[in-house]
Amino acid sequence: MVTNITNFGRSGLSDWLIQRFSAVVLALYTLFIVAYLLFNPGLDYATWSGLFAQTWMRIFSLLAFVSLAAHAWVGLWTVTTDYLKPTGIRIGVQTVIILAIFVFLVWGIQILWGA
Amino acid sequence: MSNMRSLSFDAIIIGGGGAGLRAALELAKSGKKTAVLSKVFPTRSHTVSAQGGITCAIASSDPQDDWRWHMYDTVKGGDYIADQDAAEYMCSEGPKAVFELEHMGLPFSRFDNGRIYQRPFGGQSKNFGEGGQAARTCAAADRTGHALLHTLYQNNLKNNTTFLNEWYAVDLVKNANGDVVGCIAMDIETGEVVHVKSKATVLATGGAGRIYASTTNALINTGDGIGMALRAGFPMQDMEMWQFHPTGIYGAGTLVTEGCRGEGGYLVNKDGERFMERYAPNAKDLAGRDVVARSMVMEILEGRGCGEHGDHVFLKLDHLGDDVLGKRLPGIVELSKTFAHVDPAQEPIPVVPTCHYMMGGIPTNVHGQAIMMDADGNDQIVNGLFACGEAACVSVHGANRLGGNSLLDLVVFGRAAGMFIEGALNEGIEYLDASESDIESAMKRMTRWNESEGGETVPELKRALQSIMQNSFGVFREEENMQKGVGQLAELRERIANAYLPDKTNAFNTARVEALELDNLMEVAEATAIAALERKESRGAHSRYDYPDRDDVNWLKHSLYFPTEKKVGKRDVNFAPKTVDTFEPKVRTY
Amino acid sequence: MSTLQVSIYRYNPETDSAPYMQEFQVDTQGRDIMVLDVLHLMKEQDNGLAFRRSCREGVCGSDGMNMNGKNGLACITPLSDVVKNGKLVLRPLPGLPVIRDLVVDMGLFYKQYERIQPYLQNDTPAPAIERLQSPEDRDKLDGLYECILCACCSTSCPSFWWNPEKFVGPAGLLQSYRFLADSRDTATDERLAELEDPFSVFRCRGIMNCVAVCPKGLNPTRAIGKIREMLLANAT
């Protein structure tokens, strides 16, 4: 078994499951948004913000944001371990990725639940 | 030579095929310091090409089956110069060795009851030839050799065997007493030459089919062990006995298993006639391989061959149906498509008898100990030297090997050699160390090639050798032509002694390996030629136009070729099995 | 048109400071011979050309190489299958260190094979005869045990190129599943535990180069999928 690993779970199976589950969530979310946009051709700010005012939409969106964060982390962690062989650079890039994902997630939550 | 690195082992096994790996496994389990030295990664050894199966009376297809029947078939198949004590040992120990392989994981095909699948092969009978065709060949589809070799390699990994992979053994090292105390070997990757010291040196180097232009054998089958033993002055037994497999793919030489005929395929001539019915009314296409090969050549010579030049016959399989072809013979379907451009489900495969197996080799007893002859003509053990597998002549195959008996030979005698060496090591073996001059003499030919400065190159000389053997020592032989061949070989030996190795670099120099192999091909070819000329009778695979009959009065004997004098002597065949009555020589019909 | 233009990767560490491509004109006499035959003709022109070969019938796995950009066995690849515009480009298997010319160091590949414990493990006492196995259970090994360890698959796999020390690679995983699928093997849990990390199995991205190049027509991607299913079933 490979034990020198810098991801969080250290389990390929959980990473793999996270990728699959988050992908399904993101696909559903994307489909929903696309369909919503198609069925509301003259979309204005009020309708749009009305949608996000509903609790179920906020939960759905939060789920999608968390999924996106997890998906991005597992995916980008994999990409960095594939392509960035010097350890220092790899850890540096991974740190930047974690920070960015964290910031985007907090920012997203703030937009969603704030105000 | 004092700057040469040396390695020390209790036992060194030269050759990583079925026999070598089986011997190594036994020794690795015993904890002895053992190494397998192989010129290729072990799973590239020629055992991997064996297709049809491993013949053994495990009583699966027929619960009444008896190893004695198998022994009878083996002795008869060998035209009565198989040693009966050895055939007895192989056939009776066989089931144990096969079950061990299964326990190691070999993926045998199965019958519905879960037991190992067995198919009919040539020369098999029940009840000492009285009970009709037997089905005694245990098979893993038509990839039995592959499955067996990989299983053995895997179990050697499990038991932490030391491997010297892609190392080439150059020559044996003998001490002042004539004991074999190791070898000179070259790490092919780096070119480093090393003195390998060992208390037991096992030659499991396989066959030498590459002495012929047309052969089913791998390109690596160059008789390295035979060459080494001959150069060290040890005698070879029954070297005139070369099996021509009836069904090599026409043109390519690749093997089509006898299992095809076991599963119901048969040979036809240009008239579509199933001609084996004429030559072997009972066994038909499943007669001994020598019989079938000769019959095919007769058909071709009498103008009933197939194709534009009438120089081959057809193997018909299309009537077997997709199920049998797909399940039992998938590898054959693949090979015929690749090498004959024929889909056997639609069309017959063009085949021709092709050099396949060396029945002769280093004479040994059932423990794998190499044997030479003392001044009074008695057997004498060679200290430190062992042989098993195709390189050895125990002799269980006599003048003609039965299909499926080679894999059994490998595992039974590889195992036996391993067990014997373990015991001998436990009792303690001490031989005199090799001196500087002993080592230097083992380095002689390597040095010769390395210092060569001009002359003919290896590929042309190899071609010349193969064409001499093909033309003068094929399926049918006769005095004048063989005399000519022996003369040509003597000439060729001179040319090879002055040949040139242009590339003298060290890293993975395959040209150097091929040059060293050429020396071995030369040794094998000459031993074959001189022994063939000497045996003035027809027996098993050795058929002479000028002596068409078997001569039991003069030749119910092994031939023994002595390299130093280039003379052939005779050695008694063993007719004294321990637990069964002797099988007396009879007229051999199928 | 009986001459074939062959461009071949050459490197001898003793005489060359860097690898280079060398051009050969090979007289094939217009025959549709195998790439291995072409190599032999080339070796007669240049004795020093190094490549591995043994059985010359596609069962020993020695002569895996890259022919016009695709991995395969030289001995069972006819020119008609591979030559484009009268030209043949031969390179060593990608991703492994080159020892000389077409000969690569297979050490990493073998290491990954050894890592999956490629031998039957059964902790019950062996019977006096063979262990029984139904034909249906035996059928599960078809398409798995036939692997010849030629490394065509693993050296065409980007995941193996990037992580040859950590990702087992298609060949090793095919063999791993060969033992997981064997009704006679009792070490399933131990085997799965060894494979559960993010690299060993899960680095497979389903690119399927392995399937495209396997000279024996085997499907490592499917075997990897089965291992994933077993890991999943084992964990839930």
Residues A49-104: pLDDT tens digits?
999 999 999 999 999 999 999 999 999 999 999 999 999 999 999 999 999 999 99
For residue A29, say whether it is annotated as part of any ligand binding site: no
Contacts of C211 (CB under 8 A, 6+ apart): C153, C218, C219, C220, C221, C222
The answer to whether the Cβ–Cβ distance between B49 and C138 falls below 8 Å is: no
Select from C196, C198, C228 the Cβ nearest to the Cβ of A7. C198
Question: Which chains does B contact via 3+ CB–CB distances below 8 A?
Answer: C
Mean pLDDT to the nearest integer, C47-55: 96
d(CA B31, CA B251): 47
Given an 8 Å threshold on Cβ–Cβ distance, is B105 in contact with C119?
Answer: yes
Cβ of B45 within 8 Å of Cβ of C54? The answer is yes
B189·C48 Cβ contact <8 A: no
Which amino acid is present at B114?
G
**Is B105 annotated as ligand-binding?**
no
Q: By percentage, how much of chain B surpasses pLDDT 70?
A: 100
CB contact under 8 A, B107 and C12: no
Closest partner residue to A12 (CB to CB) among C162, C163, C198 is C198
Run of H or E residues at C186 = none
Q: Is A6 a member of any domain?
A: no
Residues of chain C with CATH 1.10.1060.10: 107-235
Closest CA relative to residue B456, chosen from B408, B428, B497, B504: B497
* pLDDT for res B355: 97
- Give the position of tokens 């040890």: B234
Q: Which CATH superfamily is domain B72-105+162-241+359-584 in?
A: FAD/NAD(P)-binding domain (3.50.50.60)
Is C107-235 assigned to CATH 2.30.38.10? no
What angle, rounded to 10 degrees, do the helices at B479-497 and B458-472 form?
Answer: 170
Give the torsion sign (CA, B357, B361, B364, B365). Answer: positive
DSSP codes joined into one string, chain A:
------SSS--HHHHHHHHHHHHHHHHHHHHHHHHHHHH-TT--HHHHHHHHHSHHHHHHHHHHHHHHHHHHHHHHHHHHHHH--SHHHHHHHHHHHHHHHHHHHHHHHHHHH--
Q: Mean pLDDT over all residues of chain A?
A: 91
Q: Looking at chain C from residue 161 to 180, which residues have their Cβ under 8 Å from any Cβ of chain A?
A: 162-163, 166
**Do B506 and C14 count as a contact with CB atoms less than 8 A apart?**
yes
Q: Please calculate the CA angle B484-B488-B491 and round it to the nearest 5 degrees.
A: 145
Whole-complex ipTM: 0.98
Write out the DSSP string of B166-219. TEEEEEEEE-TTS-EEEEEEEETTT--EEEEEEEEEEE-----GGGSSSBSS-T
Catalytic residue check, B539: no
- Beta-carbon-side half-sphere exposure of residue B297 (alpha carbons within 13 Å): 19
Q: What secondary structure letter does DSSP report for B432?
A: P
Quick one: fold of B245-352? Flavocytochrome C3; Chain A, domain 1 (3.90.700)
User: Which residue, among C36, C47, C75, C102, would best test binding to B if mutated, counting the most B CBs under 10 Å from its CB?
Assistant: C47
Q: Which amino acid is at B445?
A: R
Interface test mutation site (partner B, options C35, C36, C60, max chain B beta carbons within 10 A) = C60
Q: Does C198 touch chain A (CB under 8 A)?
A: yes
State the pLDDT at residue C182. Answer: 98
pLDDT > 60? residue C72: yes
C193 to chain A, any CB pair closer than 8 A? The answer is yes
Put simply, the answer to whether C54 touches B218 (Cβ < 8 Å) is: yes
Chain B residues lying within 8 Å of C132, measured CB to CB: 110, 113-115
Mark which residues 91-130 of C lie under 8 Å from B by CB: 99-101, 103, 106, 110, 114, 117-120, 122, 126, 128-130
pLDDT in tens, C21-39: 999 999 999 899 999 999 9
Do the strands B266-268 and B362-363 form a parallel or antiparallel pair, or are they unpaired? Answer: unpaired
**Is C198 in contact with A3 (Cβ distance < 8 A)?**
no
Compute the distance between CA of residue B457 and CA of residue B470 in angstroms, rounded to an integer: 21
User: What kind and span of H or E run contains C195?
Assistant: helix C188-195
- A 41-100: CB under 8 A from C: 78, 81-83
B45 contacts in chain C (CB < 8 Å): 54, 60
CB pairs under 8 A between A and C: 52
Q: What pLDDT band is residue C236 in, cutting at 50, 70 and 90?
A: confident
pLDDT at C235: 85
Spatial neighbors of B423 by CB under 8 A, at least 6 apart, are none
- How many residue pairs bridge chain B and chain C with CB atoms within 8 Å of each other? 154
* Residue B176: Cβ within 10 Å count: 12
Q: Chains B vs A: touching, with 3+ CB pairs under 8 Å?
A: no
Tokens of B32: 């002895």
Residue type at position A23: A
Does residue A12 belong to the interface with chain C, where contact is any CB pair within 8 Å? Answer: yes
Taking CA atoms, what residue in C is nearest to B157? C114
| The CATH number of domain C3-104, selected from 3.10.20.30, 3.40.630.30, 3.40.50.970, 3.40.50.300 | 3.10.20.30
- Are B446 and B186 in contact by the 8 Å Cβ rule? The answer is yes
SS3 C221: helix
Which residue in chain A is spatially nearest to C163 when comparing CA positions?
Answer: A82
Counting every residue written for chain B, the total comes to: 590
Q: Do A78 and C197 touch (CB under 8 A)?
A: no
- Mean pLDDT value across residues B224-248: 98
Q: Is B476 annotated as a binding residue?
A: no
Looking at the complex, does the CB of residue B508 fall below 8 Å from at least one CB of chain C? yes
* Contact B49/C at CB under 8 A: yes
Spatial contact of B324 and B264, defined as CB atoms under 8 Å apart: yes
Q: Does C186 touch chain B (CB under 8 A)?
A: no
pLDDT at residue C1, rounded to an integer: 52
Q: Are B339 and B252 in contact (CB under 8 A)?
A: yes
Nearest to C200 among A10, A12, A82 (CB): A12
User: How confident is the model at residue B302, as a pLDDT?
Assistant: 96
Give yes or no for residue A5 having a pLDDT over 70.
no
CA distance linking residue C225 with residue C211, whole number of Å: 13
CB contact under 8 A, A1 and C163: no
Provide the pLDDT confidence category of residue B233 given band limits of 50, 70 and 90. very high
C52 — contact with chain B (CB < 8 Å)? yes
Question: Average pLDDT of C173-180?
Answer: 98
Cα torsion angle, A95, A101, A105, A108, sign: positive
Return the structure tokens found at B205: 């180097």
Q: Choose among B44, B335, B502: nearest Cβ to C60.
A: B44
CB-based contact C235:A41 (threshold 8 Å): no
* CATH at residue A80: 1.20.1300.10
Is pLDDT at A6 greater than 70 in this prediction? no
Cβ separation A78–C235 shorter than 8 A: no
User: Structural domain tally of chain A?
Assistant: 1
Rg for chain B, CA atoms, rounded: 23
The shortest C-alpha distance from C194 to chain A (Å) reads 4
CB of C57 within 8 Å of any CB in chain B? yes
The pLDDT of B336-353, averaged and rounded, is: 95
- Give chain B positions within 8 Å (CB) of C79: none
Q: Which residues in chain C are contacts of B155 at CB distance < 8 A?
A: 119
pLDDT at position C6 is: 97
Q: Are B77 and B207 in contact (CB under 8 A)?
A: no
* Three-class DSSP category at B350: strand
Q: Where are the domains of chain B?
A: 72-105+162-241+359-584, 245-352
| Chain C nearest-CA residue for A3 | C197
Instruction: Determine the structural domain holding residue A108 and report its residue range.
Output: 20-113
Q: Is B334 on the interface with C (CB under 8 A)?
A: yes
E strand or H helix that includes residue C175: helix C169-180
**Residue A2: predicted pLDDT:** 74
Q: Among the options B119, B289, B294, B571, which is catalytic?
A: B289
Asked if pLDDT for residue A9 goes beyond 70, the answer is: no
pLDDT tens profile B5-59: 999 999 999 999 999 999 999 999 999 999 999 999 999 999 999 999 999 999 9
- Specify the 3-state DSSP secondary structure of C154: helix
Beta-sheet pairing, B379-387 with B193-203: parallel
Per-chain mean pLDDT for chain B: 96
Give the chain C residue nearest A78 (alpha carbons).
C203
pLDDT for the residue C2 = 79
CB atoms within 10 A of CB B336: 27
Q: pLDDT (tens digit, 9 = 90+) per residue, B268-295?
A: 999 999 999 999 999 999 999 999 999 9
Confidence of residue A114 (pLDDT cuts 50, 70, 90): confident
Q: Given a contact as 3+ CB pairs under 8 Å, which chains touch C?
A: A, B
> Does the pLDDT of residue B192 top 80, yes or no?
yes
**pLDDT tens column, B532-583:** 999 999 999 999 999 999 999 999 999 999 999 999 999 999 999 999 999 9
B34 marked as part of a ligand binding site: no
CA separation for the pair B274, B289 (Å, rounded): 16
- C-alpha span between B495 and B500 (Å, rounded): 10
Nearest CA in chain C to A4: C166
The closest of B269, B137, B215, B308 to B521, measured between CA atoms, is B215
**Residue B278: per-residue pLDDT:** 97
* β-strand pairing of C103-104 with C64-67: unpaired
